[in-house]
């Protein structure tokens, strides 16, 4: 019985030793598990800190992205407005170019009309000079012929008067028929003298009256002067229109340039902020 109990004690001691060994192993495993837990908790704390940091960075990145998107939208609006202004400026330039071409064509036509009018004036002046010279020559020749005719008639009248005086004495002695013949001759000479004077007056009127050469030339000169003044006024009006159009174009382009500079400054500021 003692041996049995001794065997039981030894068996119990062996079991206790095994339990102690198992307990020691469990304690070691528990310590290892605790160490692993602490390590995991430390890593978890670090991971949590990193996650918080990453969350803050993500929030900051989101805010930056939203700010960049707002700036991009603003820049797109500015770019769209700039394109609209550039398009309007281009259309204005095209319109002004068309107007300038039309004005240049008008001025070209006015210059051509001036050249044609100048040629017409030159031709009329030459014709007027020729007519004036011809009128002067004709008038001088007519006056010379008339003066010579009047001189001849005056001399003839004196001769006839002398012969008439000499014949009057004879006529006193002659019959009534001789007196009538003498009276007819005197009437004929007076009629010739009157007709020559009328011819002289008519020739002078052809040269100097309202329908004569000089008056016609004066009327032509007046018409030409009126046309020249009209063309000059048209040219002045065209010049004023060109000046006003160019001034308006310069003002519009200056305002567009200022606005584009402002947009460029804003765009540069936006680009700098994004960078």
Tell me the per-residue pLDDT of 215-264, one tens digit each, with 9 for 90 and over: 444 454 455 455 445 545 654 565 565 566 556 656 655 665 565 556 55
CB atoms within 10 A of CB 135: 20
Burial (CB < 10 A; 0-12, 13-18, 19+), residue 128, is: buried
Burial (CB < 10 A; 0-12, 13-18, 19+), residue 31, is: exposed
pLDDT value of residue 185? 47
Q: Which of 221, 240, 37 is nearest to 122 (CA)?
A: 221
Q: Assess contact for 138 and 214: CB atoms under 8 A.
A: no
Q: What's the average model confidence in pLDDT over 3-13?
A: 82
Q: Does residue 63 surpass a pLDDT of 90?
A: yes
The whole-model pTM stands at 0.35
Give the helix/strand (H/E) hosting 124: helix 2-173
Q: How far is CA 19 from CA 5, 26, 31, 141, in A?
A: 20, 10, 18, 173
CA separation for the pair 117, 62 (Å, rounded): 80
Q: Integer distance in angstroms from the first to the last C-alpha of the chain?
A: 96
Q: Does residue 187 surpass a pLDDT of 80?
A: no
Q: Assess contact for 142 and 212: CB atoms under 8 A.
A: no
Residue-wise pLDDT tens digits, 111-142: 888 788 888 888 888 888 888 887 777 777 76
pLDDT value of residue 133? 83
Radius of gyration of the chain (CA): 66
pLDDT value of residue 218? 47
């Amino acid at each position: 019985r003692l041996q049995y109990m001794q065997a039981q004690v030894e068996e119990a001691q062996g079991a206790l030793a095994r339990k102690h060994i198992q307990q020691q192993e469990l304690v070691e495993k528990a310590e290892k598990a605790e160490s692993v837990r602490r390590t995991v908790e430390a890593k978890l704390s670090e991971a949590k800190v990193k996650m918080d940091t990453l969350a803050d960075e993500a929030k900051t990145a989101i805010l930056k992205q939203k700010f960049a998107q707002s700036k991009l939208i603003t820049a797109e609006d500015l770019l769209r407005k700039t394109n609209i202004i550039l398009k309007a400026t281009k259309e204005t330039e095209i319109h002004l170019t068309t107007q300038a071409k039309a004005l240049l064509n008008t001025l070209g036509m006015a210059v051509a009309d001036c050249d044609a009018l100048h040629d017409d004036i030159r031709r009329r002046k030459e014709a007027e000079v020729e007519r004036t010279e011809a009128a002067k020559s004709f008038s001088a020749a007519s006056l010379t012929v008339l003066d010579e005719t009047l001189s001849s008639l005056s001399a003839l009248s004196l001769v006839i008067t002398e012969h008439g005086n000499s014949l009057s004495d004879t006529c006193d002695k002659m019959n009534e028929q001789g007196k009538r013949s003498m009276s007819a001759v005197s009437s004929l000479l007076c009629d010739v003298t009157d007709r020559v004077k009328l011819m002289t007056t008519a020739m002078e009127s052809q040269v100097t009256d309202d329908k004569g050469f000089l008056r016609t030339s004066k009327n032509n000169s007046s018409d030409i002067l009126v046309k020249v003044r009209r063309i000059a006024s048209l040219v002045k009006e065209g010049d004023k229109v060109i000046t006003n159009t160019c001034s308006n174009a310069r003002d519009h382009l200056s305002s567009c340039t200022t606005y584009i500079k402002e947009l460029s400054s804003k765009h540069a500021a936006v680009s700098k902020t994004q960078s």
